[in-house]
Amino acid sequence: MSETAAATLLPVDVTLGAVLAVLLVVAVAVAAYARLSADGGRGRAREIAVAGVRATAQLAAVSLLIGWVVEAVPLLLCFLLLMYAVAVRTAGRRITANATWWWAAAPIAAGVLPVVLALLLTGLVPLRGITLIPVTGILIGGALTATVLGGRRALDELHTRRGEVEAGLALGLSDAEARLEIARPAASDALLPGLDQTRTVGLVTLPGAFVGMLLGGASPVQAGAVQLFVLVALLAVQAVAVAVVLELVARGRIHRDGIEEGAARAG
């Protein structure tokens, strides 16, 4: 029954492929026409095209490998580490293009690892790939987004308001304290997507976990409970990730070449 429901919702056929191709072309065309890039060029359009192609290839590979991964714990752990490594690389390079990108490992791990360990120790999630992979993937994805948004907004704010940081230093604050006071309000905006999703769940959208549970044959109450858990866990993960990345930026561990790098060395 669940397979029939899933096939009815989104059948995997030529029509699906055609619609996906058209949607990707539309996204690329609009981004290129509107020049939705920081430099006013067409770089973002190319990124969208590459992201769409990569997503297709990666999901195809995962779909073929997932059956092996879920059956063996060593393979499962390797797959989870791969997910984490890719998230760290993606977040780090999105925040900064210099050698400090690897510090993105800290906020993602700090947010995700305690939650996953708590789930395993309490037995809420068994050490089986079919359950651990999607739950961990959702949490890593949330931490990645919060880390990128928090880190970028903090660094942007420090660059724009460098004079206020210097004023704080003149008042006797340490470099880390002055940078923290300026960057904190901007970095906290990284929590807004998760907050809005949680506030509007069931009224504006029905998230993936809820729909997936229903298609899998779960009752609406069970599906709602799982979705509530996912949303609350994401709030915790993202709050920790933003707090850690903010601290790293304030202490100069994550910086951009130029003004922020000089401040980091001075601190």
State the burial class of residue 253 (Cβ atoms within 10 Å of its Cβ: 0-12, 13-18, 19+): middle
Per-residue confidence (pLDDT) for residue 10, from 0 to 100: 63
pLDDT (mean) for 105-128: 91
Give percent above pLDDT 70 in the chain. 87
Domain identity same for 10 and 92: no
Residue 257 in this model has a pLDDT that exceeds 70: yes
Average pLDDT score, the chain:
84
Q: Which sign does the torsion angle of CA 118, 122, 124, 128 carry? A: positive
Q: What is the largest CA-CA distance in the chain?
A: 69
Q: Same domain, yes or no, for 103 and 62?
A: no
User: What pLDDT sits at residue 116?
Assistant: 93
Whether the predicted pLDDT of 204 surpasses 50: yes
Backbone φ and ψ for 201, nearest 5 degrees, come out as -60, 135
Q: Reply yes or no on whether the pLDDT at 6 is more than 70.
A: no
- Looking at residue 214, what is its pLDDT? 66
Last residue of a domain, one of 69, 86, 103: 69
Residue positions counted in the chain:
267
Q: Do 60 and 110 belong together in one domain?
A: no
Tell which of 30, 45, 69 closes a domain.
69
Pick from 69, 97, 123: which residue ends a domain?
69
Using CA atoms, how far apart are residues 263 and 235, in angstroms rounded to an integer? Answer: 32
Q: Report, as an integer, the average pLDDT of 217-238.
A: 83
Give me the domain span that covers residue 51. Answer: 1-69
Residue 215 pLDDT: 64
How much is the average pLDDT of 25-52? Answer: 88
pLDDT at 125: 82
Please write the tens of the pLDDT for every residue from 52-103: 999 989 888 877 777 777 777 788 888 899 999 999 999 999 999 889 999 9
